[in-house]
Structure 1
Amino acid sequence: MTIKSTLTFLALLFIVVSCKTEPKKAEATSKMEEVMAVHDEVMPKMSTISKLVAQLKPMADSTETGKEYMSAMKDLQASHKSMMDWMQGFGARFDSDEILNGKELTAEKKKWLLEEEIKVNQLKEDINGSIARAEDLLSED
């Protein structure tokens, strides 16, 4: 083999290897971006939850109507706690380079990311649902 053919072979090998590994990294990065996009969508709603809890609190008591307000308030508080717990758990599983910079994930962390995607989507439903229920209840007044 000549030096030219050896270099050509190595260049082609590098291109093939790069093409095969890049989609996996891009796929994991893309999934991380999707998970973080859901988080970023619902995180600002934490202030809405706090405001709604403050509005419901004075109306929550042991009467039938008061129990509805209490239930709505507890749903909001549970949603808020779920967000805080999810962020803590997510942060324990992934480092900032993986979250923010697209650092390559291990096979185990790729599985974890799929689990976290399910959790954050459920969290989004819970947050949006608890907010909608509270707002509906408050609009009846």
Structure 2
Amino acid sequence: MKKAPIVLFILLCVSIYSCGPKISENELLKEKVIQVHDEVMPKIGTLKSNQKVLNEKAAELEESEDSENLQKQISGLKAAATDCEKAYDEMFVWMRQFETDLEGMSDEEAKAYLEKELVKVEKVKKDILLAIEKSEALL
């Protein structure tokens, strides 16, 4: 008798849950794409900041009297700054091209589109994290 209210409560929860809207596979995939974006977007400021410092260090070394002996270091700083800039640009190009409205697409088209976008945004994430890692190793 004491278990009856618990059983009724569980049945009520199950019936309410089963009546609720179901999240489609495409909605879950879209959330995953957005999640990857949201994970690395806060690091964009770090990219620009590191790029600026790397360029300043390279310019400083170029002006030094020993700049010929420092060419390898200067090249490394400039390459890392370029990687930061490319990763930054990559994120904003991806964001401009990403379609959030999938209304005109069939489920299959939307799934294919979102899978393609997940691959793209994962590459953007990888490039951002790698650029930050390289740049911070030189700072």
Q: What TM-score do the two structures reach when normalised by structure 2?
A: 0.71
Structure 2 partner of 1:58: 56
Aligned with residue 73 of structure 1, among 66, 76, 81: 81
Does 2:47 align with 1:49? yes
Q: Is 1:85 the counterpart of 2:93 in the alignment?
A: yes
User: Could you tell me which residue of structure 2 aligns to residue 26 of structure 1?
Assistant: 24
Cα deviations across residues 60-81 of structure 1 (Å, max 9, x unaligned)? 2562211100000000000000
**For 1:22-60, what per-residue CA distance to the aligned partner results, in whole angstroms no more than 9, with x for missing partners?**
76x521111111110000001011101111011111122
Distance 2:52 2:77 in 1: 11
Assess, with a 3 A threshold, how the Cα gap between structure 1 residues 104 and 30 changes in structure 2: closer, same or farther: farther
Which residue of 2 is the match for residue 10 of structure 1? none
Aligned to 1:109: 110
Q: Distance in 2 between matches of 1:85 and 1:127?
A: 13
Aligned to 1:39: 37
- Partners of 1:104 and 1:26 in 2: CA distance: 16
How many percent of aligned residue pairs carry the same amino acid?
A: 32
Q: State the match for 1:16 in structure 2.
A: none
Contact 2:58 2:78 (8 Å CA) reproduced = yes
Deviation at 1:105, TM superposition (A): 5.3
- Aligned counterparts of 2:110 and 2:58: Cα–Cα separation in 1: 43
Structure 2: stretches of 5+ with no match in the other structure: 1-18, 63-70
Aligned partners of 1:72 and 1:130 also within 8 Å: yes
Distance 1:29 1:104, change over 3 A: farther
Partner of 2:68: none
Change (3 A) 1:104 1:40: farther
Q: Alignment length, in residue pairs? A: 110
TM-score normalized by the length of structure 1: 0.70
d(CA) in 1 for partners of 2:110 and 2:26?
A: 9
| Higher-helix-fraction structure | 1
